[in-house]
Structures are given as C-alpha cells and as structure tokens.
Chains A and B, each alone.
Chain A
Amino acid sequence: MKFIISLLLIALLSFAACLYLPWWSIAIATFIVAALIPQKPGKAFITGFLALFLLWGGLSFWISNNNGHLLAHKISLLVLKMDNPYLLIAATALIGALVAGMAALSGSYLRQCKA
C-alpha cells in the first residue's frame, strides 16, 4: 500500500513541481515523499525509479504520439545518432527514473538517520 501511495504521490508531486520549477525539482519532490513515507531503501529506490519512469515515459510518449513522432525522429538522430523515437522516449524515462530513484534512496536513508 505504501508503495502504491508513494509512487502516486511522487509522480503527482513531480508533475506539479515541474509546472513551475526547473526539471530537477523531481529530485526534491521524490526526496520529500521518500523521507515522509517510510520504506526500506531498496524499495524506496524502486518506487522513485518506477514513478518517474512511468511519468516521463508516459508524458513523452503521449506528446510524441500526438506529434506523429515528427520531432522525436529528428532529435533521436541528433542526440542518439539513430532514428528511433521510442529509444528517445526510453532515454527520457530512464533519465527521470535514475534521478528520482537516487533521490528516493536519499530520502529513505535520511529517515533512517532520524529513526
């Protein structure tokens, strides 16, 4: 239950933060949630990782799909040197996931320090 709530809360808070703040506010949002809702470090990492993987992957897929993947074709060539929109979406999801996973881990460890 904590896992689901954390996951949803991280995704929601990250999305809201990014409406007004720079992209790395996802790290802060995730950190706060992980520090407030106690989970084991490993599980916290997975929660944060999954939350942002789904959020960024889902958002970028939704945007790209509406765009007919027109831009993703071009940018994947520019950034990844290969023409594959899905790879660019995966890269996006992975970057968000990594940052959030690490932030969640930090949050969980902080809680352990206090406890």
Chain B
Amino acid sequence: MRIIPFITSAVITSGLVVVLNTNLVLPAPLGKLLSPQHGIWQNAEPANEDFTANLKFPQLSGKVNVYLDERLIPHIFAEQENDAYFVQGYLHAKFRLWQMEFQTHAAAGRLSEILGDKDPRILNFDRTMRRLGMVYAAEISEKEVEQDAATKAQCDAYTAGVNAWIETLTESKLPLEYKMIGYAPEKWSNHKTALFLKYMSLDLAGHDEDFEMTNAKSFFSADDFAKLFPAVQDSLDPIIPRGTPFPVQKVFPKTPANADSVYLNSKDLAVEESFKPDKDNGSNNWAVSGSKTKSGAPILCNDPHLGLNLPSLWYEMQISTPSFNAYGATFPGAPGVIIGFNDSCAFGFTNGGRDVRDYYEIKFKDDKREEYLFNGEWRKTKWRIDSIKIKGKNNFIDSVAYVQLGNDWCPVMYDKTYSGGRNTNNKNYAVRWKAHDASNELKIFTMLNHAKNYADYSAAVVNLHTPGQNCAFACKNGDIAIRTQGEWPAKWKGQGDFIMPGTDTSYLWQGMIPQDEITYQYNPERGFISSANQKPVDETYPYYMGRNYPMYRGITINKRLAAMNSITVDDMKALQTDNYNMAAAMILPLLMKNIKENELNAEEKKYADLLKNWNLRNDVGSKGATVFEVLWKNLVDTIFHDEFAKAPKVVMHPFESSLLEELLKDSVYKFADDISTPQKETLADMLTLAIKETAVILKKAEADGKLDWEKFKGTSINHLARLAPLSRPNLPIGGGSHNINATKEVHGPSWRMIVELTPQTNAWGVYPGGQNGNPGSKYYDNFVDQWAAGKYYQLWMMTKGEEKDKRVKWVMSFGK
C-alpha cells in the first residue's frame, strides 16, 4: 500500500504542471510564462545590453556592417544592395517581429486564429478583411512584383533576412507578445510583404462613406442634402493654387442617362456599417525653396498622421550601399526607406484621400448566387472559399462570390451571409477597390532612395498607384516639387458618392485620369509647395474629386509659409508642432457675437469667459481650448439633432467644414431652427443651449482635474494588442484635428521630419515610440516624451570614416 502516497503525489505534481502549462484553469499558463529561463523574464533586456554581433549567412554575397548608435538606430553599410535588404529584414525581425506578423495577420483576416472568437468583433473583422479581398489584392500585387526582376530580388533578400532571424528563435527568445497570447511565428514571405502594403492601402485608401451617404440622400430632400454635404468648400486653399491652368482633358467620363432617376435622386436605403479606417489618416508636408530660407537651401518637412501604436509603425534606419545612401523612416514589413532623404534630396507624403472604393448593387438570379445579371445576360459567379481558423474551435468557412464588372473581378462583400453585424435588406453589394488592381508600389520607394534630381523623382513617383499620395520633394540643387500622385478613376460628378447599380457597364469606372493630367507643382513662384489632405484642386479641374476633405490645416500652413522668410530649421520645428486652431479662429468671432450672456448662469458665464479670453491655441494647459472643442461638438449636435432624430441609424453626419462654412456665409442658418418646436429658433438660441450642455461636461471635467486641454483630450499611444500596461496613456501634448499639430486621442503625427538640404544635410526627426519593439527594453518607448514635448533628434547620416565616432555604440557584422 506504500504505492498510494506515491501515486497521489505524482498525480498532483502532474496536475500542477498541466495547470501551470496551459490556460485550462488559470487565465494564463503561469509556469511557462514565469519560468526565468523560458518565459517573460527572458524578455527583460539588461539595461546595459550589448548588441554587438558577428554573424555569418550563406545567403549574403558580400560584407555588411551595421553601426548601432546611442538611440539604437542602425546604420547599414553593405557592399551589395540586396545584402542591405537582407540585413534590413533581419533587423526589422530582430526588433519588430511580433508587430510585423500581427499586422499581416490582421490584413489577411487571421486574427481569430491567434485571439479566438470570445469577442465577436474579431471574427467579424476577419470576415471583413477577407470579403474586402485583402488577400486577393495581395496575391495580385505579388504577381506584379514577380514581373519585375529588381523588385523580386529585393523582396527575396528582405524575406530571407526576416527568416534568418526567425530561424534563430527558441522558446525563450520569442517576443513577449507571442508568450502572452500563446502562439509562435511562422515563416515570412513576399506574400506577407504584399499583405503589409495592402494593410497600408486599407488604412490610407480604404475609407468610404457610400452607405452613410446613400442613406443620407434617401432621408433628406435634395436641397437639404446639398447644404449638408456640399461638394464645394469656399474657404478651400487647394494644394495646386487656384487659377493654375490644367492640362487639356483627355478622358471624358459620361454620366449614365438614367443617373438622375435611378441613382442621384433614388431613395433606396442601404444599411451597413463595419470596420472603418480613421477618416483623419491625413498628414502635412511642405517644402520651401532656398529663396525663403536663411541658409539658401530648400527645407522639406513631413509629418504623416496615423494611428499611434506601440510598437510604432515606423522604424528608423540608414541604408548605405554603393548605389544609394538613404536615411529615414522604414516600415517593418517592407524593404527600403519610405519617408526620408538621401545625399541629394528629400521626400515625404501626405494622403491623397480620394474615394477609390465604390460599391455596386448586384442582382443574383436566385439565392444560390451562382449567376448574376450583367448587361442583360446571366453570368457565372466565381467563388473564393475562405477557411478561417479560430483558436480552440472548428474553422469558419466563408464563401465569397466574385462577379466580373467590366474587366474587373470584384468580391461581393455584403450579401445575405454577411452584413458586418447589420442588416443589408438582403441586398448584395460588390466592392470595386483600386487596391485590387495590379501595381508595384515598392518601386517608388526604391527609386526615390536612389533619386538624384527632379527627373529621377518624377520617374519614381508615377509608380505609385494606390494609396495615392501627395508626394513632396526637395533637392540640393534647389528644386522643390509636389505631385498629387495616384492612379485615380476619372469620375463624373457624383459617381461613387452613393452605392451604384451594378447590372450593366454604365455606372462602372470608365477609365483612369491620364498620368499627364495628374496635377503637380515644380518650383512655383510663391517659393513653397504644401499639402495637408485638402482637396488638391479647385472647381476648374475637369474630373470629379468627391466631397469630404479636411481643409483647415492647409489654410494655416499656406498662410504661414507665404508670410515666412529667411526660414530656419527651428522655425520649421515651431511650425510643425504649432497648435493654432484655424477652424476656431474662423468661427469664434461669430459665436462670441451670438452669445446671450443674460441667459447664462454664473458657472456657464465663467466658461464663456474662458472662451472669450482664449488665444486660439490648443496648447498644453489651455482651458479655453477645452471649452471651444466641447462647445463646438455640442453646437453641432444641438443644431442637427432634430433633423437627424428620425434619420436611419447608419447615416452620414454633416462634414466638419459644412456647418462652419454655412454659418460664415449665412448666420440665419436654416438648420438652426429646432423643427420639433413650433417657434423659430436662431443660432443664438442653439448656442445658449449648447453652452448649457457644455457647462455640465466641463464642470465634471473640472472636478476631475481635467479642464486643461491635454488632460481633457488624453492622448494615448496604445499597444497594438491593446494591453494597457504596455501602452503610454495621458501624454502631455496639445494639438487637435484642425491644428498643424494634429494630435488627437490615439491618432496624430506618427513621424515628424525636417530636412534642410544644405551641402551637409541638416535633418531632424522624431516618432512616438522607440526602436526596440520589446516592452522589456528601455528602447521600447524612449522617444515618446521627446515627441510629446515637440522636440526632435538630429538625424545622423553616417559616412564612411566615422566608424570610430562616439555615437557608435555597437557593431554588428554580417558576412558569408
């Protein structure tokens, strides 16, 4: 019977191991996770970590030395260009592998595979990605890359580099997030690089308002609709200055004969809402010519506004090869330098923001969806069967119908099997998205990295099809330029604003705007170029540009640049981090005139006074900024609340600029009247109501000690998987959507860069993150405070002979 104690204790021991090795009982496998030789402790990077390494890889054809500086920026010096991409891939993986894979898993609709389906939004997200055709798009662009030997070799080298790192991984060396979530990385591939680029396309060129607009059109009268959603903005200061002559129009998109009855004025409802990229994925860029600078050399500035995450989207590096030498922000997931400079010139981007994602209503013969009506005949559907893996469960099978509209096969994104969580009235909507078309976007970056002059820049940028960008350029020879680049559908007025009929060719895109009709500015007389996502051209441009563009940052930038002379890098730093609120400056005088002080109590008056004495800046510590931002939001709600009370749930709300523009034109604004009351209300009445509501919110904020703008706003840089302790909340930074410093809650300048093209390049930059994606490293978020404070780091373009410079902290050498 002596065996009983042994069996009992052995069973308990085994049970303990099982409990601590899985999450059957505990929320996490604590034994595995906390084992000092395997788990999270292995990710606690020593403060004095030595990154020196001497590595051999048979894939390399020459020698590569990487000099890591005190900020952990790698300066890659390679004898062969493709070796540099191998090492770039290796370093991206070494420092950022988890995010690279997480972002591409997201793009491919594979989050359920790693996160499970406890939160139903995850499977919905995956289905949305698949049904939008993200993988389909990546496959097409991968094939396009295969056609180009140089890009193919570049991608192959990059992929090999990523995999060279992955092959060295043991359980203990896995990035922290793999251990926390409980999965392991798979091999990298060119397909994943393509997926990453589509992830960026989705972020930048994936926004659409077609469903909301369709519903708004159905609900409002034509007159009201035109007032709420105007196609013209009076205050607009376009990228290409007003009055600039345009090339002769060569494509003439023809409005379908029945457009008025079945499209523009049709009252058919669509109901749909799903994951949406942030509409404010915008940016600023500008360049001033030497005539306006103190040094006489051009200065280029760029700050792309994107979702702010940790680890950051960006990774800083220098790549030096016999054929080029470039420095700047790179994308972990893709080869080359994306926003940066080389020894001759600098380049930067803002989002073009045009509508390149349209929906067509498809008519299937029956519920089987095997045939669809097109040009009077029944055509055969093609199917794409997606098997979505779900952690701990059976696969979810999703069959997506593809229909051919003209020459393009388009996924039927919404149908009876998928509504994105909402009812689609059992209608079928196919999506025509420009990102499905074949193009090789990597080429623009590779060519810009090599560019020596304006001709090289021009040859490079035309390779960018989607996401279309305003590409700014400045060169040491004094040239500055901007081009509103993209392959844009040539649309007739109103095309694609709403869901379109998809039963024949008449509503399809009829062609692309020819590349020689793409607008640009090259050394303009005013001595600067700029863009801030505003509408690129005025109304004389022959093609339809859509309706909804942010315009206030652009107005500020152009005003300021026009007035500035003898500009220095410090002036540019001040401008790039400027918190002047242009929208407030335009509307506040009218609001102050309409305040009825006698109807306000002491508390409300106190807040109104804060507004009166406000300096129009969304600075740290500003209370007036908080009052304005809350009041403006409340005023919009108060004015439109009655008109929208009975509107469909999914509906477009007035563009940000519409109310402001209309009020400036006519303060006896039609919508000010509350239609639910018999009397006629005015703007002043609405303003009083809004102030009263604002005071309630502000009183609570004040009690919480959050009346200062930065505290009220609470900018956070969140971990990509939303793990709170790995995030940086409540940063002391001002700004807002209508400020040049467009820092919002979780969105803002993701990389600030200023490059003065003096003979010895004088470049500055900062991003809100750190070079090492490991939350256990002191390099994880060490740039965040510098960024929040509006400060920059000098960017060191290292040259041969500086290997012994004191900024070099570690050397990694790679060889055969």
Contact = CB atoms under 8 A, between A and B. Distances in A.
Interface of A: 15, 18-19, 22-24, 27, 31, 41, 56, 59-60, 63-64, 66-68, 70-75, 77-79, 88, 91-92, 95-96, 98-99, 102-103, 105-106, 109-110, 112-113
Interface of B: 2-3, 5-6, 9-10, 12-13, 16-17, 20-21, 28, 30-48, 171, 176, 180, 723-726, 775-778
A66 B726 CA distance: 19
A68 B778 contact: yes
A108 B39 CA distance: 29
Contact of B39 (A23, A24, A67, A103): A23
A17 to B, nearest CB: 9
Given A74-B725, A95-B30, A15 B37 contact: yes
Given A22-B32, A23-B38, A79-B30, 20 more contacts: A15-B37, A18-B38, A23-B21, A23-B37, A23-B39, A24-B20, A24-B21, A27-B13, A56-B36, A59-B41, A63-B36, A66-B44, A67-B44, A71-B45, A77-B725, A95-B20, A99-B31, A105-B13, A110-B6, A113-B6
Q: Is the interface of A mostly helix, strand, loop or mixed?
A: helix
Contacts of B724: 77-78
B12 A102 contact: yes
21 contacts: A18-B37, A23-B31, A23-B35, A23-B37, A23-B38, A60-B36, A66-B44, A68-B778, A70-B778, A71-B44, A74-B776, A75-B40, A92-B35, A95-B30, A95-B34, A99-B16, A99-B17, A99-B20, A99-B31, A109-B6, A113-B2
Given A15-B37, A68-B47, A92-B36, A105 B775 contact: no
A18 B36 CA distance: 9
Nearest to B42: A63
A27 B48 CA distance: 33
A59 B3 contact: no
B775 A66 contact: no
Contact of A112 (B6, B20, B45): B6
Contact of A41 (B5, B30, B171, B180): B5
Contact of B725 (A27, A64, A78): A78
Nearest to A79: B28
A75 B36 contact: no
B44 A72 contact: yes
Given A23-B37, A113-B2, A71 B776 contact: yes
A92 B34 contact: yes
Contacts of A91: 30, 34
Contact of B44 (A31, A41, A63): A63
Nearest to B14: A27
Contact of B41 (A63, A77, A110): A63
A59 B21 CA distance: 20
A60 B34 contact: yes
A92 B10 CA distance: 22
B36 A59 contact: yes
B31 A95 contact: yes
A56 B48 CA distance: 22
B726 A24 contact: no
Contacts of B776: 67, 70-71, 74
Contacts, number: 124
Name the residue among B6, B28, B43, B180 with the largest chain A CB count within 10 angstroms: B6
Contacts of B778: 68, 70
Which 10 residue pairs are nearest across A and B when measured between Cβ atoms? A71-B776, A23-B35, A67-B44, A59-B36, A109-B6, A77-B725, A102-B13, A18-B37, A71-B44, A66-B46
Contacts of B41: 59-60, 63-64, 71, 92
Contacts of B775: 71, 74
Name the residue among A56, A66, A79, A112 with the largest chain B CB count within 10 angstroms: A79
B34 A22 contact: no
Given A59-B37, A78-B725, A70 B44 contact: yes
A77 B723 CA distance: 10
Nearest to B10: A106
Contacts of B725: 73-75, 77-78
Contacts of A56: 34-36
Contacts of B48: 66
A18 B41 CA distance: 14
B16 A102 contact: yes
A35 B46 CA distance: 38
A8 B409 CA distance: 69
A88 B34 CA distance: 9
B9 A105 contact: yes
Contacts of B726: 74, 78
Contacts of A59: 36-37, 41
A60 to B, nearest CB: 5
B180 to A, nearest CB: 7
A98 B35 CA distance: 13
A79 B5 CA distance: 34
Contacts of B32: 22-23
Given A23-B31, A27-B13, A71 B6 contact: no
B31 to A, nearest CB: 6
Name the residue among A22, A72, A112 with the largest chain B CB count within 10 angstroms: A22
A27 B15 CA distance: 12
A24 B33 contact: no
A22 B171 contact: yes
Contacts of B20: 24, 95, 99
Given A23-B37, A59-B37, A75-B725, A64 B44 contact: yes
Contacts of A23: 21, 31-32, 35, 37-39
A77 B620 CA distance: 29
Contacts of B9: 102, 105-106, 109
Nearest to A19: B37
A10 B72 CA distance: 40
A27 B38 contact: no
Contacts of A74: 725-726, 775-776
Contact of A78 (B13, B37, B723): B723
Nearest to B2: A113
